[in-house]
Amino acid sequence: MTGLPDGARHLPGHFDRAAQEALVDAIRAVLEQAPLYTPVMPRWGRPFSVRMTNCGPLGWVADKAGYRYQPQHPATGRPWPPIPAPLLTLWQSVADYPHPPEACLVNFYDEAARMGLHQDRDEADLGAPVVSVSLGDDCRFRIGGTERGGPTASIRLASGDVFVLGGASRLAYHGVDRIYPQSSTLLKNGGRINLTLRRVTKPA
Ligand code: MD3
Ligand code: FE
């Protein structure tokens, strides 16, 4: 595939350095309330290489029982902390969707972490887009069509980039092939943070 699927928008450098630093501070505060944990694949229990947490009324979790959204952190049992204000503002400006996001999944990649090709389909409202923010090291992101095994496009995502996945692209297969170590100075200890804002339930 040469281009992006319909409904996918890449906004390179949407957040400048100061805005990226403010987001990292906000995410550090989230991590104090809701530490990163290692999700595992359903049934098998094989660990993800990506560590995760969430903010917002709902959070996406993966454990031996399955994939789902739930209101509490799986390790602490406490509610997820609120979504930081600048992310709610981002959603309002780019999502083109008249209700707020309910979940912000926080993915942390060290230099060896990857995410295999998958679809995001655990949300009841697939009419809402997913809005993604990249912070820290660059990655090679891969996106294809709605059928497994079809052609794909590869894009290098950098710190401050925003990706909006709506319309036909909402059910596109996608993944992260690799991290480019030391490609950013944003995170003192390196690595990459990806934030995805999601609407989960259908609005009444
Ligand atoms: C395309 N995250 O959390 S973000 C995920 O970089 C996930 O951590 C990747 O895939 C990451 O599920 C990719 C870009 C992204 C997010 C959601 C999508 C692309 C998407 C949903 C549908 C299609
Ligand atoms: Fe995904």
Mutate to test the pocket of ligand 1, among 9, 49, 120, 197 (most ligand atoms within 8 A of CB): 120
Name, in order, each residue with C-beta under 8 angstroms of 39's C-beta and a sequence gap of 6 or more.
47, 48, 50, 51, 52, 61, 62, 63
Smallest CA-to-CA distance from 194 within 15, 16, 50 is with: 50
Tell me the CA end-to-end span of the chain in Å, nearest whole number.
Answer: 38
Distance from the alpha carbon of residue 77 to the mean position of ligand 1, in angstroms: 26
The residue contributing the CA closest to ligand 1 atom 14 is 132
The reported pLDDT for the residue numbered 65 is 97
The residue contributing the CA closest to ligand 1 atom 11 is 194
The residue contributing the CA closest to ligand 1 atom 12 is 120
Q: Give the pLDDT of the chain (204 residues) as one tens digit per residue.
A: 568 989 999 999 999 999 999 999 999 999 999 999 999 999 999 999 999 999 999 999 999 999 999 999 999 999 999 999 999 999 999 999 999 999 999 999 999 999 999 999 999 999 999 999 999 999 999 999 999 999 999 999 999 999 999 999 999 999 999 999 999 999 999 999 999 999 999 998
Distance from the alpha carbon of residue 126 to the mean position of ligand 2, in angstroms: 13
pTM of the predicted structure, to 2 decimals? 0.98
Pocket of ligand 1, beta carbon within 6 A = 105, 107, 115, 120, 130, 132, 143, 163, 165, 169-170, 172, 174, 176, 194, 196
Six token digits for residue 130: 């997913």
The reported pLDDT for the residue numbered 2 is 63
- Which ligand neighbours the alpha carbon of 52 most closely? 1
Six token digits for residue 53: 């947490």
d(CA 113, CA 115) in angstroms, rounded, equals 7
To the nearest 10°, report the CA torsion of 95, 152, 62, 160.
-50
SS (H, E, C) 181-192: CCCCCCCCCCCE
Distance from the alpha carbon of residue 175 to the mean position of ligand 2, in angstroms: 7
Distance from the alpha carbon of residue 119 to the mean position of ligand 2, in angstroms: 6
Residue 105 CA: nearest ligand 1 atom is: 3
Domains (ranges, CATH) in the chain? 8-198 (2.60.120.590)
